[in-house]
Each structure stands twice: as structure tokens, then as C-alpha cells.
Chain A
Amino acid sequence: DAGITQSPRYKITETGRQVTLMCHQTWSHSYMFWYRQDLGHGLRLIYYSAAADITDKGEVPDGYVVSRSKTENFPLTLESATRSQTSVYFCASTEQKIGTQYFGPGTRLLVL
């Protein structure tokens, strides 16, 4: 199906482990984003990408790494997971710099 998908939908990991969250969109949107959603903080931007091989930090980038070798994929890696990274992660994409962002279904990550 067309749209934006995330995998896995649920993940439990342990402190110190590396975790990669995947995001794939079929619209060929140039811009892609990663957000985390936490109680009391709403949605906060982690990283964004304007095109393949172009990425930049958002509001809360520490502890995360992104890459974008292909337009349709935008993986988010937690290099060494910490409990504070327990959250719901949303990927989003848009075709224009200032445009409607469409969100994936989210990944619930629990770091023990």
C-alpha cells in the first residue's frame, strides 16, 4: 500500500544496545522527519532530512543518528539506548519545505 510505514511497531530493548527504527514512504516526498512523543513534552523533532544525503538536527538529536541514502527511506538509530529514550517515535514526510506532514503509525520503544 502507498503511504508511510514504520517498523517495527513495537520494540523492547535493553540499555546500551543499538536499535534502528525504519521509516519508508512511497510518495517520493523530499522531506522526512523523526519525532518523539512523550507525556508532558508533546512531539519533539529529533532529525529531519531535506533530500537524500541531506540531514540536520532537530530539537532533541543527542543519542540518535540518521541516514538517508535513498529518498524513500529514513532510518533512525539509537547508538546506545538509554531508558530516557523510551518513547513513541513517529516518522513523517512532506513534499514541500512548508507543507502538510503526513505521519507514519509510530513505533513504541521500551528501553529496559
Chain B
Amino acid sequence: AQKVTQAQTEISVVEKEDVTLDCVYETRDTTYYLFWYKQPPSGELVFLIRRNSFDEQNEISGRYSWNFQKSTSSFNFTITASQVVDSAVYFCALSEDYKLSFGAGTTVTVRA
């Protein structure tokens, strides 16, 4: 069963537009962690954020912000004022134990 769903396969925006990536997860555990990773065209996987299940505070880091809502099992990611360098595949992931379950990823293309 799919544990992490990223319904958006591809998103294309023009530079300076905001873009929101959706992530819906499924778990029966009360303790879990959620992650976002970025995979730029160069191929490496870059850790962006970790959030535990007891911390529903939204977080902002520069142009990046995350909205965690347990009530809807969602952990959405927004890039404000997107830049060409934001073009990448973004993965949402769920960790219930040592295992990390990844969503299929959303490809973001930012056009100049």
C-alpha cells in the first residue's frame, strides 16, 4: 500500500511564482517522522527538512516553508518566489521505523 502520495507528477512555473507541493501520508503509528528531499538535475539527494509527528508547527527557512497537518495527514511544501535553481525533483518521505518510504516525487521546473 502506498504510504506516501505525491499526487502532482510535474509542476511548471515561471520564475518568482510560488509553488506548493502536496504530500499525503498514511500510517498507524503515533510516532513517525516526515521528510522532504530535493534531487536536482545533478542527481544527488539533498535533505531539506525533518518533522516529527508531535510537532505540528509550521516551519519557514528562507524561501521554503512547510505546512504539517496531522488532521489531514499532509505535509505540504511551498517554495516562495521560485528561482531557476529550484528546478528539481522533490520527494516527501515517511519514517515509521528505520525504513524510509518515499513518495514518487514531484518534478518542479522553474522557467526564466
Contact = CB atoms under 8 A, between A and B. Distances in A.
A88 B105 CA distance: 15
Interface stretch (A42-50, A62-70, A74-82): A42-50
B103 A42 contact: yes
A42 B45 contact: no
A50 B97 CA distance: 12
A31 interface: yes
For chain A, which range describes its interface: under 10, 10 to 19, 20 to 34, or 35 or more residues?
A: 20 to 34
B29 to A, nearest CB: 10
B46 to A, nearest CB: 8
**Which residue of A33, A42, A58 has the most chain B CB atoms within 10 A of its CB atom?**
A42
A103 B45 contact: yes
A98 interface: yes
B95 interface: yes
Contact of B50 (A42, A88, A100, A108): A100
B91 A43 contact: yes
Interface in A27-70: 31, 33, 42-43, 45, 48, 50, 58
Nearest to B47: A100
Contacts of B37: 103
B9 to A, nearest CB: 11
Interface in A74-98: 88, 90, 92, 94, 97-98
A97 B105 contact: no
B19 interface: no
Given A98-B95, A100-B35, A45 B100 contact: yes
Contacts of A98: 31-33, 95-98
13 contacts: A42-B103, A42-B104, A42-B105, A50-B98, A90-B45, A98-B32, A98-B33, A98-B97, A100-B47, A101-B35, A103-B37, A103-B47, A106-B43
Given A97-B98, A98-B32, 9 more contacts: A33-B100, A42-B102, A48-B99, A58-B99, A98-B33, A101-B47, A103-B37, A106-B43, A108-B43
